[in-house]
Amino acid sequence: MIDLAEKIKKKLKDEIAALEHELHTELPKEIKVARAHGDLSENAEYKYAKERQSYVSARLGQLHQRMADISMLNLNNLPKDRAAYGSRIVVLDIVKSAKIEYKLVTVEEADAAKGLISTSSPIGRALLGKKVGDEVKVTTPAGVKEYEVVRLITIYEEE
């Protein structure tokens, strides 16, 4: 469980380092070169560099907040009998009579094609705290889904 949090932190740290390098090294050079072209009111390079600078600053703020959130995540407090981060859940799609398996993960790990869904996605939020036998109705971009939880493997049972 700890390795997972460390992998996420490393991924975030790598992105932070790359963006900080861009913000403090590359973008100031681009802005300086663009300023040398003269009239800033019609200077596309200058405008793009300033917009990129603003975007990178905002993204860095988000990443630093995400790092703080992950640092506060205490995996020892996850429930042992209900769906939570790291749980594998098999649900029955009541309408289609098909079984689907999901694993609840962080935003950084999410990959819907592999069944890895974020705990902050509509389906992920709906499944949090559920037990075997619980029915879930969730509105997704693809419409309303109705599921019944048929199997639950928590993060504790996987190890």
Same domain for 66 and 30? yes
Same domain for 62 and 93? no
Domain membership of residue 7 as a residue range: 2-73
Same domain for 68 and 45? yes
Strands 143-153 and 135-140: antiparallel
Same domain for 99 and 51? no
Question: Any idea what the CATH number is for the domain that residue 12 is in?
Answer: 1.10.287
Q: What is the pLDDT of residues 73-110, one digit of tens each?
A: 666 677 788 998 889 999 999 888 899 999 998 888 88
The per-residue pLDDT for 73 is: 65
- Amino acid residing at 53: Q
Q: Which residues contact 67 (CB under 8 A, 6 or more apart)?
A: 9, 12, 13, 16
Strands 116-118 and 135-140: unpaired
Domain end marker among 54, 73, 92: 73
Same domain for 153 and 85? yes
In three-state form (DSSP H/G/I as H, E/B as E, the rest C), the secondary structure along 55-101 is HHHHHHHHHHHHHHHHHHCCHHHCCCCCCCCCCEEEEEECCCCEEEE
Percent of the chain with pLDDT over 90: 45
Same domain for 84 and 69? no
Domain end marker among 22, 46, 73: 73
Same domain for 130 and 116? yes
DSSP 40-59: GGG-HHHHHHHHHHHHHHHH
Same domain for 100 and 117? yes
Same domain for 88 and 18? no
- By the 8 A CB rule, do 5 and 75 touch? yes
Q: Which residues contact 98 (CB under 8 A, 6 or more apart)?
A: 92
Global model pTM greater than 0.85:
no
Q: What is the pLDDT of residues 37-81, one digit of tens each?
A: 877 778 888 889 999 999 999 999 888 887 777 766 666 677 788
Same domain for 86 and 42? no
Domain end marker among 43, 73, 103: 73
Strand pairing partners for 153?
88
Element (H, E) at 15: helix 2-21
Q: Which residues contact 17 (CB under 8 A, 6 or more apart)?
A: none
Q: Domain total for the chain?
A: 2
